[in-house]
């Protein structure tokens, strides 16, 4: 059976890229190493912070006091007991490093979703009822496909039976949680949305001509009729999805670190709101009611934002005009 | 019509609250957070917001106790106890 290696545009495999990156870290002069690893002097001891570690690689299940971790070199997902600190289980089913995971529970059922650089996600059922049994079964309930590049982030809404995942290919894919069925793909068109907003704000005829508001509105709403030139333009502008949240009302909030934009989508893939942020975001979470997005990032500030509510595209555009007309950073 | 556009949440139900927090408290001589925020966690009933900083420091931000008292009082009034 032929094995297809995942290759980058330069023709190198992802593993080769990784090895090259790590060799750069170990051999490069300190000035270059700082771009990958950051050293802090905390008290009298030095600590090295890996820029690749994020809160998306840990999940805590409070009622069973278990921590699920990923990002391990052996492509495993590990389960650790909080009280004893002992490793309970290590599972290797993915074919590349697991980049993100999420846990959810609903009426006594609990699930773990893992997303990997092998472009797939796996749904695991967590079972901690049986004494002495492993919390995860040896095989996943479902394997979710659809991404063309590494999965970077995942979130679950068990009430809506929804798994939302983001990828380096710039797409967000929705699956059913319980049966693993594919629902739809959402293309992150936030950059185009911002281009339109800017064009309207600045009155740039070129930008407006190149995008075209009617074509644009069909393209961002996922319509299949018309808008082919805009859709083509969109496909060349995709930013990697760095972080995802899905609210109780099933609003999907995506953050792309490439262009530093936050974007709210409806369940149907419609763009509700787009905001450019003046910093790199490293942590995103929603309030309990799902109406407020809380972010933290490189500017050392905690910022609260409204997620989304009743939707009217014309008003949104006016708001964007107002936002870009003002000098406010946030 | 109410429209939310990822704007700062300092109006409507959150009127009077700060939408950008730097973690500083002048009366307790607590300086602003000086390292990037790497993780956020909200405790049950949104009592505390825990921010993990890149330096290894952890900041726990609490709600204004007057707000919590007011919220409890409003709920008691709503259900007819007060």
- A233-265 pLDDT per residue, tens: 443 456 889 999 998 888 899 999 888 899 888
Measured in angstroms, the CA of B5 and the nearest CA of chain A are apart by 5
Q: Which residues of A24-59 are buried (b: 16+ CB within 10 A; e: fewer)?
A: eeeeeeeeebeeeebebeeeeeeeebeeeebbbbbb
- Chain B, residues 40-59, CB within 8 A of chain A, namely 40-42, 45-46, 49, 51-57
Nearest CB partner across the interface for A283, out of B6, B17, B39: B39
Question: Among the listed ranges A149-153, A207-211, A255-259, A265-269, which one has the minimum average pLDDT value?
Answer: A207-211
Among the ranges given (A52-66, A155-169, A201-215, A279-293), the one the predictor scored with the smallest mean pLDDT = A201-215
Total domains in the fold of chain B: 1
- With b for 16 or more beta-carbon neighbours within 10 A and e for fewer, the B51-82 pattern comes to bbbbbeeebeeeeeeeeeeeeeeeeeeeeeee
Per-residue pLDDT tens over the stretch B10-56: 777 777 777 888 888 888 888 999 999 999 998 888 888 999 998 98
| CB < 8 Å to B48, chain A | none
Residue B69 lies in a domain: yes
Q: Which domains does chain A have, with CATH numbers?
A: 52-186 (2.130.10.10), 189-237+242-330 (2.40.10.480)
Alpha-carbon span A282 to A192, nearest angstrom: 23
Give the pLDDT score at A116.
Answer: 95
- At A205, is the pLDDT very low, low, confident or very high (cuts 50, 70, 90)? very low
Min distance A275 CA to chain B CA atoms (Å):
6
B30 domain residue, yes or no: yes
The SS3 call for residue A253 is strand
Closest CA to A272 of A226, A230, A233, A310: A310
Q: Is residue B1 part of a domain?
A: no
In this prediction, residue A183 carries a pLDDT of 95
Mutate to test the interface with A, among B36, B44, B57 (most CBs of A within 10 A): B36
Three-state DSSP state, A152:
strand
Q: What is the mean pLDDT of chain A?
A: 73
- Specify if B4 maps to a domain: no
User: Does residue B32 form part of some domain?
Assistant: yes
Domain that holds residue B52: 12-78
Answer yes or no: is pLDDT of A164 > 90. Answer: yes
Q: How far is CA A162 from CA A91, A113, A141, A289, in A?
A: 24, 11, 15, 17
End-to-end CA gap in chain A: 53
User: What is the rounded CA–CA span in Å between residue A61 and residue A74?
Assistant: 23
Q: What angle (nearest 5°) sits at the alpha carbon of residue A99, between those of residues A153 and A172?
A: 25
Out of B7, B20, B38, closest to residue A283 by CB: B38
A97-124 residue pLDDT tens: 999 999 999 888 999 999 999 999 999 9
> In the structure, what pLDDT confidence band is assigned to residue A194 with cuts at 50, 70 and 90?
low
Q: Does residue B29 lie within any of the structural domains?
A: yes
**Maximum pairwise Cα distance, chain A:** 68
Residue B38 within a domain: yes
Which pLDDT band holds residue A4 (cuts at 50, 70, 90)?
very low
pLDDT tens digits, one per residue of B49-78 = 999 998 989 999 887 777 778 878 888 998
What pLDDT is stored for residue A71 in this prediction?
Answer: 92
**What pLDDT was estimated at residue A203?**
53
Report the pLDDT value the prediction gives residue A165, as an integer from 0 to 100: 96
Q: Do B32 and A47 touch (CB under 8 A)?
A: no
What are the φ/ψ torsions at residue A228 (nearest 5 degrees)?
-70, -35
Residues of A within 8 A of B34 (CB-CB) are 300
Is position B55 within any domain?
Answer: yes
- CA–CA min distance A306, chain B (Å): 5
Q: What is the pTM of this model?
A: 0.71
Residues in chain A closer than 8 A to B2 (CB atoms): 309-310
User: Is the CB of A162 inside 8 Å of chain B's CB atoms?
Assistant: no
Q: Is B7 on the interface with A (CB under 8 A)?
A: yes
Question: Under a CB-based contact definition with an 8 Å cutoff, are residues A193 and A267 in contact?
Answer: no
């Amino acid at each position: 059976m032929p094995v297809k290696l995942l290759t980058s545009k330069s023709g190198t495999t992802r593993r080769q890229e990784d090895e090259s990156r790590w060799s750069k870290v170990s051999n490069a002069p300190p000035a270059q190493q700082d771009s990958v690893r950051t050293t802090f002097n905390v008290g009298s001891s030095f600590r090295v912070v890996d820029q690749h570690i994020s809160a998306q690689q840990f999940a805590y299940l409070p009622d069973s006091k278990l921590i699920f971790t990923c990002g391990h070199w052996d492509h495993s997902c590990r389960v650790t007991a909080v009280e004893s600190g002992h490793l309970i289980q290590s599972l290797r089913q993915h074919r590349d490093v697991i980049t993100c995971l999420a846990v959810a529970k609903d009426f006594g059922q609990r699930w773990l979703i893992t997303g990997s650089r092998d472009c797939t996600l796996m749904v695991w059922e967590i079972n901690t009822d049986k004494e002495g049994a492993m919390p995860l079964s040896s095989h996943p309930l479902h394997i979710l496909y659809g991404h063309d590049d590494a999965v970077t982030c995942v979130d679950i809404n068990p009430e809506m039976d929804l798994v939302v995942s983001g990828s380096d290919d710039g797409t967000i894919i929705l699956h059913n949680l319980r049966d693993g069925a594919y629902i739809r793909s959402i293309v992150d068109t936030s950059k185009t949305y911002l281009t339109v907003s800017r064009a309207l704000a600045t009155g740039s005829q070129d930008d407006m001509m190149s995008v075209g508001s009617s074509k644009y509105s069909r393209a961002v709403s996922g319509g299949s009729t018309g808008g082919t030139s805009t859709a083509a333009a969109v496909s060349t502008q995709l930013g990697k999805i760095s972080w995802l949240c899905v609210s109780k009302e099933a609003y999907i909030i995506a953050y792309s670190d490439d262009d530093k934009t936050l974007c709210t989508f409806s369940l149907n893939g419609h763009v509700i709101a787009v905001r450019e942020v003046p910093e790199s975001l490293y942590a995103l979470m929603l309030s309990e009611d799902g109406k407020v997005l809380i972010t933290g990032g490189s500017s050392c500030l905690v910022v609260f934002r409204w997620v989304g509510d009743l939707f009217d595209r014309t008003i949104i555009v006016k708001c964007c005009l107002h936002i870009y007309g003002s000098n406010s950073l946030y | 019509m109410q429209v939310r556009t990822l704007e700062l949440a300092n109006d409507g139900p959150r009127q009077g609250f700060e939408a950008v927090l730097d973690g500083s408290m002048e009366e307790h001589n607590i300086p602003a957070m000086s390292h990037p925020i790497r993780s956020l966690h909200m405790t049950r009933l949104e009592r505390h917001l825990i921010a993990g900083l890149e330096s290894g420091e952890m900041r726990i931000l609490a709600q204004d106790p007057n707000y919590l008292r007011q919220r409890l009082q409003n709920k008691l009034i709503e259900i007819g106890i007060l």
